[in-house]
Amino acid sequence: MDFLTKKKVENNGEIPQYYVEDHPPIIDKEIWEAVQLEMERRRAFAEKHQIQKIDYASVDHPFAGRIICGNSGKAYGKKVWNSTDKNLRRVVWRCNSKYKIKGKLDYGSRHIDDKLLYSHLLTLSM
Ligand SMILES: [Zn+2]
Protein backbone atom coordinates (compact mmCIF):
# COMPACT_ATOMS: atom_id res chain seq x y z
CA MET A 1 0.00 0.00 0.00
CA ASP A 2 2.12 2.87 -1.24
CA PHE A 3 -0.35 4.96 -3.22
CA LEU A 4 -0.30 7.79 -0.70
CA THR A 5 2.67 10.09 -0.60
CA LYS A 6 2.75 11.51 2.85
CA LYS A 7 4.69 14.63 3.52
CA LYS A 8 5.05 15.54 7.17
CA VAL A 9 4.31 19.16 7.98
CA GLU A 10 5.51 21.37 10.76
CA ASN A 11 2.92 21.68 13.51
CA ASN A 12 2.78 22.81 17.11
CA GLY A 13 3.17 19.20 18.08
CA GLU A 14 -0.42 18.54 19.16
CA ILE A 15 -1.82 16.96 16.02
CA PRO A 16 0.11 15.29 13.21
CA GLN A 17 -0.90 16.76 9.85
CA TYR A 18 -0.23 15.51 6.37
CA TYR A 19 -0.75 16.81 2.89
CA VAL A 20 -1.69 13.82 0.77
CA GLU A 21 -0.26 14.25 -2.71
CA ASP A 22 -1.90 11.63 -4.91
CA HIS A 23 -5.48 12.10 -3.87
CA PRO A 24 -8.23 14.49 -5.01
CA PRO A 25 -7.73 17.45 -2.67
CA ILE A 26 -10.54 18.65 -0.41
CA ILE A 27 -9.09 22.15 -0.44
CA ASP A 28 -6.74 23.80 -2.92
CA LYS A 29 -3.07 23.35 -2.29
CA GLU A 30 -2.66 27.13 -2.33
CA ILE A 31 -5.26 27.57 0.41
CA TRP A 32 -3.73 24.78 2.43
CA GLU A 33 -0.31 26.39 2.12
CA ALA A 34 -1.76 29.79 3.08
CA VAL A 35 -3.24 28.18 6.20
CA GLN A 36 0.17 26.75 7.09
CA LEU A 37 1.72 30.21 6.72
CA GLU A 38 -0.97 31.77 8.91
CA MET A 39 -0.50 29.09 11.58
CA GLU A 40 3.23 29.73 11.49
CA ARG A 41 2.65 33.50 11.74
CA ARG A 42 0.46 32.98 14.84
CA ARG A 43 2.96 30.57 16.38
CA ALA A 44 5.78 33.07 15.85
CA PHE A 45 3.62 35.90 17.26
CA ALA A 46 2.82 33.84 20.35
CA GLU A 47 6.48 32.97 20.83
CA LYS A 48 7.63 36.57 20.37
CA HIS A 49 5.10 37.86 22.92
CA GLN A 50 5.42 34.86 25.23
CA ILE A 51 1.78 33.99 24.84
CA GLN A 52 0.87 30.42 25.60
CA LYS A 53 -2.33 30.06 23.63
CA ILE A 54 -3.94 32.42 21.16
CA ASP A 55 -6.06 30.29 18.92
CA TYR A 56 -9.13 28.76 20.50
CA ALA A 57 -11.77 31.29 19.51
CA SER A 58 -15.04 29.91 18.13
CA VAL A 59 -18.25 31.29 16.63
CA ASP A 60 -19.87 31.32 20.07
CA HIS A 61 -16.82 32.83 21.75
CA PRO A 62 -15.11 35.02 19.15
CA PHE A 63 -12.92 36.70 21.76
CA ALA A 64 -11.72 33.56 23.53
CA GLY A 65 -7.95 33.47 23.43
CA ARG A 66 -7.79 36.68 21.39
CA ILE A 67 -7.42 39.23 24.18
CA ILE A 68 -3.99 38.97 25.66
CA CYS A 69 -3.02 40.54 28.98
CA GLY A 70 -0.21 43.06 28.65
CA ASN A 71 1.01 42.25 32.15
CA SER A 72 1.13 38.49 32.25
CA GLY A 73 0.84 37.50 28.58
CA LYS A 74 -2.09 35.22 29.45
CA ALA A 75 -5.41 35.16 27.63
CA TYR A 76 -8.43 37.00 28.95
CA GLY A 77 -11.42 34.91 29.99
CA LYS A 78 -15.15 35.62 30.09
CA LYS A 79 -16.63 36.28 33.54
CA VAL A 80 -20.15 37.07 34.68
CA TRP A 81 -20.53 39.62 37.45
CA ASN A 82 -23.67 39.77 39.64
CA SER A 83 -25.05 36.67 38.05
CA THR A 84 -27.84 36.48 40.67
CA ASP A 85 -29.33 39.90 39.86
CA LYS A 86 -30.51 40.24 36.27
CA ASN A 87 -30.44 44.05 36.31
CA LEU A 88 -26.93 44.31 37.68
CA ARG A 89 -25.49 41.44 35.68
CA ARG A 90 -22.47 42.32 33.56
CA VAL A 91 -20.39 40.19 31.27
CA VAL A 92 -16.74 41.17 31.31
CA TRP A 93 -13.41 39.84 30.10
CA ARG A 94 -10.58 39.62 32.57
CA CYS A 95 -7.07 38.24 32.67
CA ASN A 96 -7.29 34.53 33.48
CA SER A 97 -4.23 34.65 35.69
CA LYS A 98 -5.18 37.85 37.52
CA TYR A 99 -5.51 36.15 40.91
CA LYS A 100 -3.58 32.99 40.16
CA ILE A 101 0.10 33.86 40.05
CA LYS A 102 1.26 33.88 43.65
CA GLY A 103 3.33 36.86 44.71
CA LYS A 104 2.87 38.42 41.31
CA LEU A 105 -0.60 39.88 41.18
CA ASP A 106 -1.75 41.44 37.97
CA TYR A 107 -2.74 44.79 39.49
CA GLY A 108 -2.39 46.66 36.23
CA SER A 109 -4.62 44.47 34.11
CA ARG A 110 -8.17 45.71 33.68
CA HIS A 111 -11.46 44.12 32.76
CA ILE A 112 -13.21 44.89 29.47
CA ASP A 113 -16.97 45.02 29.08
CA ASP A 114 -18.36 42.37 26.74
CA LYS A 115 -20.77 44.83 25.09
CA LEU A 116 -17.92 47.22 24.40
CA LEU A 117 -15.97 44.45 22.66
CA TYR A 118 -18.92 43.53 20.47
CA SER A 119 -19.62 47.15 19.54
CA HIS A 120 -15.97 47.57 18.54
CA LEU A 121 -16.09 44.36 16.53
CA LEU A 122 -19.21 45.56 14.67
CA THR A 123 -17.61 48.96 14.01
CA LEU A 124 -14.54 47.27 12.56
CA SER A 125 -16.49 44.96 10.26
CA MET A 126 -18.70 47.70 8.79
ZN1 LIG B 1 -2.59 39.18 33.29
- 41-81 pLDDT, tens digit per residue, is 878 877 777 766 555 666 667 787 778 888 777 888 888 88
Taking the C-alpha atoms of residue 78 and residue 89, their distance in angstroms, rounded to an integer, is 13
Q: How close is the Cα of 97 to the center of ligand 1, in Å?
A: 5
Q: How close is the Cα of 93 to the center of ligand 1, in Å?
A: 11
119 and 80 fall within a common domain: yes
Q: Which among 96, 90, 92 is positioned nearest to 54, based on CA atoms?
A: 96
Q: How close is the Cα of 73 to the center of ligand 1, in Å?
A: 6
43 and 82 fall within a common domain: no
> Could you give the number of structural domains in the chain?
2
- Does the residue 62 lie in any domain? no
- Does the residue 65 lie in any domain? no
- Does the residue 108 lie in any domain? yes
Q: Specify the pLDDT at position 1.
A: 40
- Does the residue 97 lie in any domain? yes
Taking the C-alpha atoms of residue 51 and residue 76, their distance in angstroms, rounded to an integer, is 11
- Does the residue 56 lie in any domain? no
- Does the residue 35 lie in any domain? yes
Domain that holds residue 95: 76-125
41 and 81 fall within a common domain: no
- Does the residue 67 lie in any domain? no
Ligand 1 is an ion; residues with CB less than 5 A from it? 69, 71-72, 95, 106, 109
Q: Specify the pLDDT at position 84.
A: 84
